[in-house]
Amino acid sequence: MIPKEGMSEEEVLAELEGRLKIDLTFNSGKILGSMCTYPHPLAQKIVQKYIDRNLGDPGLHKGSRQIEEEAVQMLGELLHLKKAYGNIVSGGTEANILAVRAFRNISDVEKPELILPKSAHFSFLKASDLLRVKLVWAELNKDYSVNVKDVENKITDNTIGIVGIAGTTGLGVVDDIPALSDIAVDYGIPLHVDAAFGGFVIPFAKALGYDLPDFDFKLKGVQSVTIDPHKMGMAPIPAGGIVFRKKKYINAINVLAPYLAGGKIFQATITGTRPGANAIAVWALLKHLGFEGYKRVVKEAMENTYWFAEQIKATKGVYLIREPMLNIVSFGAKKLKKIEAELKARGWGISAHRGYIRIVMMPHVKREHLENFLRDLREILKK
């Protein structure tokens, strides 16, 4: 209820302090199943400083708009694209919706269909519902990557696009994007890569020598990529990224915003008024951490991943769902529901998928947290 007379600042803060105690925090060491993390300290400073900047009205905030463009450009370069088109958006969901919207709008198909792996994120369900695009689900191989042959078999005259995933939500699997790209080129169908999670991992993991497939604009068929700074990019929520290879995709989703300060302004994003501070934070983190900085973050995450996977293998009563490709380890067990409930009762912020528990080695996840978790898990398994 809104009070008739406002409470003092101290009262409001004190109430919040009490009320929010039930939230888990990233620095508690208990959140092991999230794809988000504690934002980098520089990003926090930036958000506070530029909290008022609105990218929905770039005529007012011209500098912020330029910074957003440069941030998109840097993401493009990370993904082997010389000239990038796109936006810093609210997250992977919006980025995926924009890609599907662009593919649909440039096609002249009456009953549009999108082919995507069965492992795709649920954001595509929203895209389908909003955009009236039918989802055609492709089967997975035994290793949980998409079956490329099945993708090809499902192509029809109504196919407006294909989706490949570079870092699936549940298992961190990187699909065979080079093969999908070949098909996309052969059939003249655009390929969207959902690298919401993997986009800030794969380039650095590859540089560290991890054997991962190409997944980005190096491949001719790839026309758009989702890459989320608010996941492994350590940017504050909300900060997603959509990058298109060509301007025609942005043109296909641009809407005229007629009354804003900048005159004839176009918006391609779903949101109108949107936070400039977060886009500025993305720019700042890319500049501040640089390629080597992110590589160090990914190095620790990957080392924790392989260490933890070995620990799971050595633990009686649980098993690895598959060898990790990125910094995600998922494990199954016989009485999974019971184990999940007991872990949650002990305060662990884990992510339970159908058939397995997912642990994501985000930057806030340290070896000691994993050791504490394993201790609890082993205790529960012994019961």
CB of 350 to ligand PLP, least distance (A): 15
Please identify, among the stretches 7-15, 129-137, 189-197, 306-314, the one whose residues bind ligand PLP according to the rule CB under 6 A: 189-197
Return the HEC string of 172-204.
CCECCHHHHHHHHHHHCCCEEEECCCHHHCHHH
Question: 276-313 vs 367-382: helix axis angle to the nearest 10?
Answer: 50
Which of 53, 65, 104, 121: binder of ligand PLP (CB under 6 A)?
121
DSSP 101: H
User: Tokens 């593919």 identify what position?
Assistant: 103
Please identify, among the stretches 4-12, 129-137, 192-200, 357-365, the one whose residues bind ligand PLP according to the rule CB under 6 A: 192-200
For residues 55 and 61, the answer to whether their CB atoms sit within 8 Å is yes
CA-nearest of 127, 125, 107, 271 to 190 is 107
197 is a contact residue toward ligand PLP (CB under 6 A):
yes
CA angle 360, 365, 366 (to 5 degrees): 135
Please identify, among the stretches 194-202, 254-262, 334-342, 366-374, the one whose residues bind ligand PLP according to the rule CB under 6 A: 194-202
Taking the C-alpha atoms of residue 191 and residue 116, their distance in angstroms, rounded to an integer, is: 10
Which of 54, 73, 93, 147: binder of ligand PLP (CB under 6 A)?
93
Taking the C-alpha atoms of residue 317 and residue 319, their distance in angstroms, rounded to an integer, is: 7
Which of 54, 87, 123, 128: binder of ligand PLP (CB under 6 A)?
123
Query: Judged by CB, which is closer to ligand PLP: 362, or 380?
Result: 362
92 is a contact residue toward ligand PLP (CB under 6 A):
yes
Q: What are phi and psi of 23, to 5 degrees?
A: -70, 140
35 is a contact residue toward ligand PLP (CB under 6 A):
yes
CA angle 350, 16, 50 (to 5 degrees): 85
What is the per-residue binding string for ligand PLP in 47-76, x denoting contact by CB under 6 A? ------------------------------
For residues 267 and 254, the answer to whether their CB atoms sit within 8 Å is yes
169 is a contact residue toward ligand PLP (CB under 6 A):
yes
CB of 313 to ligand PLP, least distance (A): 25
For residues 135 and 180, the answer to whether their CB atoms sit within 8 Å is no
Which of 228, 297, 305, 321: binder of ligand PLP (CB under 6 A)?
228
Query: Judged by CB, which is closer to ligand PLP: 33, or 265?
Result: 33
Which residues form the interface with ligand PLP (CB under 6 A)?
35, 91-93, 96, 121, 123, 165, 167, 169, 194, 196-197, 228, 240
